[in-house]
Homo-oligomer: A and B are copies of this chain.
């Protein structure tokens, strides 16, 4: 098997998209990486990336796209710019908890509702204090593989029209249709379902989000210096960024989505769900491996945590898969040893998934 091509099912950084080498070569040949970050050509590349994202995702006209350095940075930007009082956090895993911790560090006196590990929330139990002006949620938890239903987010939205909502779509972005109107601030990073090298975060923010940042700045609040929503927007209007960005990543992002547009997000979503069904069906009937998320409605399509039988460690599975030229992620946090996580992104074909399941069956 070791002569077949290497493939990584790590949830992120994950498998790179197939044409990446040729795209990097082209960037170097065009001398793109030696251009001024204030040059016209860079502006064109930023615009191409934004246009392609907008087209692929069907981003509404009143939402703007910004480039930052990571999803974790985006959390801090959301908190500084959109929260004037207190933030409320739906915690369904380690990344949602990270968002909550960022709120503590930026002095937002955050409040939280924490779900049982591997489970989602019951809407009827949700009580968001009136003095919370920002609601933070993780639509697809990369640590636990718990996915929030858009129906749930819609209920939160409708129940709290006065509050802004920030949503982490780090590991679902590009794999399914995002219902942008249900939140004001969406963010993801590119080393997961986009198949790019790490080092770029993407924010998609509503007009309402920008207005809130403006009001806060006018009141003298600290909304951040180099990457406030306002500085991002000021430079973004010129297709620039406040600081010299990861130009290679923006270049590659534009190229990647140029190709994804041809497939279309509906087709990608359909294929993603088909591959997810394949994975979960296999898991549900497996003799020793079990899915971590039991309720099928809460299961992430793109990050599948698998509970290993006692005596088997993630490390041993990863080691065994090496000889098959494949990689999976370990479990996250306290599940580091007792689980593996399998990514199901657009760069993973159905054949790739089948190859992985076959190998896992033979271990």
* Chain B minimum-CB-distance residue to A241: B70
By the criterion CB–CB under 8 Å, are B106 and A222 in contact?
Answer: yes
CB-CB under 8 A from A246, the residues of chain B are 69, 197-199, 246, 249
* Chain B minimum-CB-distance residue to A76: B225
By the criterion CB–CB under 8 Å, are B16 and A35 in contact?
Answer: no
- How many of these chains are in the complex? 2
* Chain B minimum-CB-distance residue to A244: B198
By the criterion CB–CB under 8 Å, are B199 and A69 in contact?
Answer: yes
Q: CB-defined interface of A12-45 with B at 8 Å, one 1/0 digit per residue?
A: 1111100011001100100101111100000000
User: CA of A143 to CA of B101 in the docked complex: distance in angstroms?
Assistant: 38
By the criterion CB–CB under 8 Å, are B34 and A8 in contact?
Answer: yes
Asked if A10 is at the interface (CB within 8 A of a chain B CB), the reply is: yes
Asked if A270 is at the interface (CB within 8 A of a chain B CB), the reply is: no
Given contacts A28-B16, A36-B329, A247-B198, contact A76 B10 (CB under 8 A): no
By the criterion CB–CB under 8 Å, are A199 and B247 in contact?
Answer: yes
By the criterion CB–CB under 8 Å, are A222 and B107 in contact?
Answer: yes
CB-CB under 8 A from A101, the residues of chain B are 225
User: CA of A243 to CA of B15 in the docked complex: distance in angstroms?
Assistant: 19
By the criterion CB–CB under 8 Å, are A199 and B199 in contact?
Answer: yes
Interface size on A, residues (CB 8 A): 57
CB-CB under 8 A from A244, the residues of chain B are 12-13, 70, 72, 189, 191, 198-199
By the criterion CB–CB under 8 Å, are B228 and A73 in contact?
Answer: no
By the criterion CB–CB under 8 Å, are A72 and B35 in contact?
Answer: no
Contact of A6 among B21, B31, B72 (CB under 8 A): B31
* Chain B minimum-CB-distance residue to A24: B24
By the criterion CB–CB under 8 Å, are A245 and B199 in contact?
Answer: yes
By the criterion CB–CB under 8 Å, are A21 and B10 in contact?
Answer: no
By the criterion CB–CB under 8 Å, are A14 and B34 in contact?
Answer: yes
User: CA of A34 to CA of B9 in the docked complex: distance in angstroms?
Assistant: 9
* Chain B minimum-CB-distance residue to A104: B225
By the criterion CB–CB under 8 Å, are B33 and A28 in contact?
Answer: no
CB-CB under 8 A from A14, the residues of chain B are 34
By the criterion CB–CB under 8 Å, are B225 and A105 in contact?
Answer: yes
A–B pairs, 28, beta carbons within 8 Å: A10-B34, A12-B36, A12-B244, A13-B33, A13-B34, A13-B36, A16-B33, A21-B25, A33-B191, A35-B327, A69-B69, A70-B244, A72-B244, A76-B224, A76-B225, A102-B225, A105-B222, A107-B220, A189-B244, A191-B244, A197-B247, A198-B246, A198-B248, A199-B199, A199-B244, A199-B245, A199-B249, A248-B248
Q: Could you list which residues of chain A lie within 8 angstroms of chain B, going by C-beta atoms? A: 6, 8, 10, 12-16, 20-21, 24-25, 28, 31, 33-37, 69-73, 75-76, 79, 101-102, 105-107, 189, 191, 197-200, 220, 222-228, 242-249, 327, 329-330
